[in-house]
Chain A
Amino acid sequence: MTSLTESRPARRAGGRGGGAWHVRVRGGSAGRPDGARRSRSGRGPGHGLPVTPWLFLVVPLGLLVLFTYVPVANMVWYGFTSWDGLDPVKEPVGLDNYARIFTDPRMFEVFFVSLYYLAGAAVQLVLALYFATILSFTTWFRNVFKGVIFFPYLINGVAIGLVFLFFLRPGGTLDAMLGLLGVAEPPQWLGDPSLVNVSLAATSVWRYLGLNFVLFLGAIQSIPGELYEAADLDGATSWQKFRYVIAPAIRPIIGLTTILAISGSLSVFEIPWIMTGGANGSTTFVIQTVQQAFQFNKFGLASAMAVVLLLVVLLVTWIQRRLFPDERVDLT
């Protein structure tokens, strides 16, 4: 027992009582707590102990390495080649792919498309915060409102794409509604290159608002009522209560969702791909990557683009961890 440095086996022994402990230890290797076993056998292969955790981990780690780390490593490597995806020889080209991404206007203009989604994300956060705040107070049909605002987030992305193609198409629902208001010639929501990204970003807001809203609502509702009472005793106004009670309590979740929104607006794919296929200047960075790789067989260039996106996302995550060290980000 001398080698036991952790507190765990000690707790264990204390909890069970010394008598039972010794009897069982003599009973056979299967019955021995790992601490006791290790102290006698070290890492001896015959006793099987150091092997056991790896038996549980072999499949998970294998999948992790195979589908996360191998692709990342390969991606970095392909990024420095002009590989077409088929050729057994991968010709190294140095930094050519990266130079092209940042100098060819057709390559880097897709970054500007992200700005529309970033603006959409800002609108989305404000709306989510507003609805979460008002619904955290007594409201008639509160759960109905909550459910209706949240539900779009659960819907299949392709179904959402089709629903909004129907909604925005010429002569569709939106045009019919505007017609009721007297607008005779509505614009081409998806056909006009100056409007298409606004329409698509709005669709994204419709889709993702519910998630932000539910996360904010949960955070606001976890604020203890005593805090409001204390604020009242101090004579706080409503705005002060929002500013000094609600806002600090939901600060971490706001930080988290802001970062998710930034990396999310860089990796937009589904909505524009389903609704326009990237036409009319609605190509996003990820659509561009997929097209370069799988339509034009430029795996080298596409890999370099994916590396750029990965680095940007890592940078954003790093900034977030510096600003909000107590919250972790989920980017999967």
Chain B
Amino acid sequence: MTDHTTGRATGATAGPASDPTAGPAARPHLARGGLARRWRALRPLTTPLGIALKYTSLLIAVACALIPLATVFMAAFKSREEFATSDPLAPPADWFNLENFVVAFTRGGMLQGFANTTIILAVSLVGTILVGTMTAYAVDRFDFRGRRLVMSAFLLATLVPAVTTQVATFQVVNGLGLFNTRWAAIVLFMGTDIVSIYIFLQFMRSIPRSLDEAAMLDGANRLTIYARIVVPLLRPAIATVVIIKGIAIYNEYYIPFLYMPSRDLGVVSTSLFRFMGPFGAQWEIISAGAVLVIIPTLIAFLLLQRQIYSGLTSGATK
């Protein structure tokens, strides 16, 4: 067993088709079923050395991902003097020292940031869902002149990265009198989100037409069908959009930074960004602010892992 395992491992590293023993050696394993099949596909990883390399690389990846976050987390609990004297890698003396969080919430304006983000998040999500479901319903369930044109108008828009057009979008938002209001962020979040429209459109195609046709035969009009049949059936797609879009809005910095410079309109991102001025050298308070922003994301991730993974896949590859 060990012998031919090593043999195959060497064969694999030496290059394709260089191992004459691979073919016959593989056959006896077939009876072992799915697990063995999976294992064999990457044979070098099943040798002791391969396993060691695999887990070492994974542990390095975990360390790289977690150390920057862990040290900030620890710093958030340190008092000012403690932070100045202690090593960044040392844990805080008192894990229940919440003073920095209080300062971040009150003087740092994080409370206001969370309030503004919540308002913008709720209104934009409702708007995005309405816009997306209405578009998907109209485009998929009606035959009308210009349908193709509408489709390509949305399709073409996916090619325009929002970051490039902000210079000119700014003039439009300003012209509408929305500059420095929450509505600037809200209309931009709901008006420029073509990915959501595609998620709805794709899901819409999987809903049998016979359902809305049956309702139509029972005398329901188009609006009733949309509200009573289409939207409830789109619930899984709505859940996906709420999760993906919700995270994106919570994390958005560019739009609030550009359109809502007023202090009272700070969202989570812009409020945290402003920490760099007044708390410039107070890393323990900046750390507390960053931890406050990361914790809701962490909770959402732990609760919704599966939906986040599948939502991202459907959002990225339409």
A residues within 8 Å of B by Cβ?
6, 8, 11-12, 15-16, 20-21, 24, 27-28, 30-35, 38, 43, 50, 52-54, 56-57, 59-61, 63-64, 66-72, 74-75, 78, 85, 130-131, 133-135, 137-140, 145, 147-152, 154-159, 162-164, 166-167, 169, 171-173, 176-177, 180, 206, 211, 214-215, 218, 225, 228-229, 231-243, 245-246, 252-253, 256, 260, 263, 267, 269-270, 274, 286, 289-290, 293-294, 299, 302-303, 306, 309-310, 313-314, 317, 327-332
Give the chain A neighbours of B101 by CB distance below 8 A: none
Also in contact, A33 and B217, with CB within 8 A (given A50-B145, A78-B167, A293-B167): yes
Q: Are A332 and B195 in contact (CB under 8 A)?
A: yes
Any A CB within 8 A of the CB of B308? yes
Contact count band on B: 35 or more
Q: Which of B96-149 contact A (CB under 8 A)?
A: 130-132, 134-135, 137-139, 142-145, 147
The answer for the CA separation of A231 and B27 in the assembled complex, in Å, is 11
The A-contacting residues of B in range 154-209, CB under 8 angstroms, are: 154, 157-172, 187-188, 190-195, 197, 209
Chain A residues positioned under 8 Å from B290 (CB to CB): 159, 162-163
B313 touches A218 (CB 8 A): yes
Is A234 within 8 A of B61, CB to CB? Answer: no
In the bound complex, residues from chain A placing their C-beta under 8 Å from that of B2 are: none
Q: A306 near B317 (CB under 8 angstroms)?
A: no
Can you offer 10 A-B residue contacts whose CB atoms are under 8 A?
A: A21-B217, A56-B226, A57-B150, A59-B131, A68-B192, A137-B39, A159-B272, A166-B72, A269-B254, A332-B195
- B residues sitting closer than 8 Å to A (CB atoms) are 8-9, 11-13, 15-19, 22-24, 26-27, 29-30, 34-35, 37-45, 54-55, 57-58, 61-62, 64-69, 71-72, 75, 87-89, 130-132, 134-135, 137-139, 142-145, 147, 150, 153-154, 157-172, 187-188, 190-195, 197, 209-210, 213-214, 216-222, 226, 247, 250-251, 253-254, 258, 268-270, 272-273, 275-276, 283, 286-287, 289-290, 293-294, 297-298, 300-301, 305, 308-309, 312-313, 315-318
CB <8 Å contact, B30 and A232: yes
Measured between beta carbons, the chain B residues less than 8 angstroms from A256 are: 316-317
Q: How far is the CA of A240 from the CA of B8 in the complex (A)?
A: 12
Which residue of the partner chain B has the closest CB to A151?
B301
Question: Would you call A63 and B275 a contact (CB within 8 A)?
Answer: no
**Set of chain B residues within 8 Å of A66, measured between Cβ atoms:** 172, 191
Cβ contacts under 8 Å, B134 to chain A: 56-57, 59-60
Q: Assess the B251–A269 pair: CB atoms within 8 A.
A: no
Additional A-B contacts beyond A34-B143, A243-B16 (6; CB < 8 A) = A56-B134, A63-B187, A67-B172, A145-B62, A269-B254, A309-B164
Q: By the criterion CB–CB under 8 Å, are B269 and A156 in contact? A: yes
Contact between A237 and B218, CB atoms less than 8 A apart = no
The answer to whether A158 and B38 touch across the interface, beta carbons within 8 angstroms, is no
How many Å from the CB of B69 to the closest CB on chain A? Answer: 6
A246 partner residues in chain B, CB cutoff 8 A: 41
Q: Give the distance to chain B from A224, nearest Cβ to Cβ, in Å.
A: 11
- Interface of chain A, main secondary structure: helix
Partner of A56, one of B9, B72, B138, B158: B138
Are A253 and B142 closer than 8 Å at their CB atoms?
no
Contact among B42, B45, B254, B313 for A214, CB-based, below 8 A: B313
Assess A148 versus B158: contact at CB under 8 Å? Given A74-B171, A229-B30, A237-B12.
no
In the assembled complex, the CB of A199 is this many whole angstroms from the nearest CB of chain B, namely 12
Please give, as numbers and ranges, the residues of chain B lying within 8 Å of A20 by CB-CB distance. 217
Contact indicator B62/A148 (Cβ below 8 Å): yes
Which residues on B sit within 8 Å (CB–CB) of A133? 42
CB contacts (< 8 Å) of B172 on chain A: these are 66-67, 70-71, 74
A207 to B158, CA, bound (A): 23
Complex alpha-carbon distance, A163 and B57, angstroms: 23
Q: How far is the CB of A145 from chain B (nearest CB, A)?
A: 5
